[in-house]
Amino acid sequence: AQSVTQLDSQVPVFEEAPVELRCNYSSSVSVYLFWYVQYPNQGLQLLLKYLSGSTLVKGINGFEAEFNKSQTSFHLRKPSVHISDTAEYFCAVSVLWNNNDMRFGAGTRLTVKP
């Protein structure tokens, strides 16, 4: 089955600094890739998705991610973070023929400091 590894459990960063949250996936077949964000005491909200086509995907709140098939990575980036970006971020993968079976990474807690 497909799987996801998020390489950093916590990422502290100062406001207005750039940030990269790393995600690697494993699958023997083609996949869809997702990033979700979870604010405190809330459910998950879709940030962006990669289905096919351009490897650079833009999402909400100024985030973007780049799909790298050779490195099996899907890292999330933002050039300048805000305090309000403090949240937990989850990378997820599903195989093309069974979107119902989505596997999530363990999450990365992004803390933006003033």
Partner 1 sequence: NAGVTQTPKFQVLKTGQSMTLQCAQDMNHNSMYWYRQDPGMGLRLIYYSASEGTTDKGEVPNGYNVSRLNKREFSLRLESAAPSQTSVYFCASSSWSRDRGLAKNIQYFGAGTRLSVL
Using CB under 8 A, list all residues that contact partner 1. Answer: 4, 6, 9, 32, 34, 36, 41-46, 49, 51-53, 90, 92, 94, 99-107
How many angstroms separate the CA atoms of 23 and 100, rounded? 20
CB 85: neighbour CB atoms within 10 A? 20
Question: In angstroms, what is the minimal distance from the CB of 53 to partner 1?
Answer: 7
The amino acid at 80? S
Question: In angstroms, what is the minimal distance from the CB of 46 to partner 1?
Answer: 6
Question: In angstroms, what is the minimal distance from the CB of 29 to partner 1?
Answer: 15
